[in-house]
Chains A and B, each alone.
Chain A
Amino acid sequence: MAVGPSKQPIPKSVLAALPWPELVERLTAVAQFRLRGSVDDAKQLAMETVAVFLDPESSVEWDYVAEPDVRRCLGSILNGLLRNFVRKRGNLERPTDDKDLELLAANSDEVQTPEEIALARDLFDRVLAEVAENSKNDAVVTQLIPLFQRGIMEADEQAAELGVSKATIYEARRRMRDRVEIARKNLGEH
Chain B
Amino acid sequence: MPTRNPSQLRGLEDLEASLGDDMLHAEMPIETVREYLRLAGGDPERIRHDAALLVDAVLGQSGTPPVRTARPGRRPSRIAFGRMNKEQLIRHVNALRGNPAAERALRSRLSNTEPEIVSEEELRAILEEFQNLFEEDEDETK
Contact = CB atoms under 8 A, between A and B. Distances in A.
Contacts, number: 184
B117 interface: no
A152 B3 contact: yes
Contacts of A69: 26
B3 A50 contact: no
Contact of B24 (A74, A121, A148): A74
B88 A34 contact: no
Interface residues of B, number: 60
Contact of B17 (A21, A34, A42, A54): A34
A174 B48 contact: no
Contact of A153 (B18, B28, B36, B92): B18
A132 interface: no
Interface in B21-46: 21-28, 30, 32-34, 36-37, 40-42, 44
Interface in B84-107: 84, 88, 91-92, 94-95
Q: Counting chain B CB atoms within 10 Å of each CB, which of A25, A45, A148 scores highest?
A: A25
B27 A170 contact: yes
Contacts of A48: 81-83
Interface string A36-64: 00111011111110110011110000000
Nearest to A28: B47
B67 to A, nearest CB: 13
A3 interface: no
B14 A153 contact: yes
Given A33-B16, A121-B9, A25 B51 contact: yes
Interface string A74-106: 110001000000000000000000000000000
B40 to A, nearest CB: 5
Interface residues of A, number: 64
A182 interface: no
Contacts of B125: none
B52 A20 contact: yes
A185 interface: no
A33 B47 contact: no
Nearest to B2: A154
A186 interface: no
A98 B17 CA distance: 33
Nearest to B14: A153
B83 to A, nearest CB: 7
Given A151-B4, A155-B27, A174 B22 contact: yes
Interface of A: 12, 15-16, 20-30, 32-34, 38-40, 42-48, 50-51, 54-57, 69, 71, 74-75, 79, 112, 117, 120-121, 123-124, 127-128, 148-155, 157, 166-167, 170, 173-174, 176-177, 180, 184
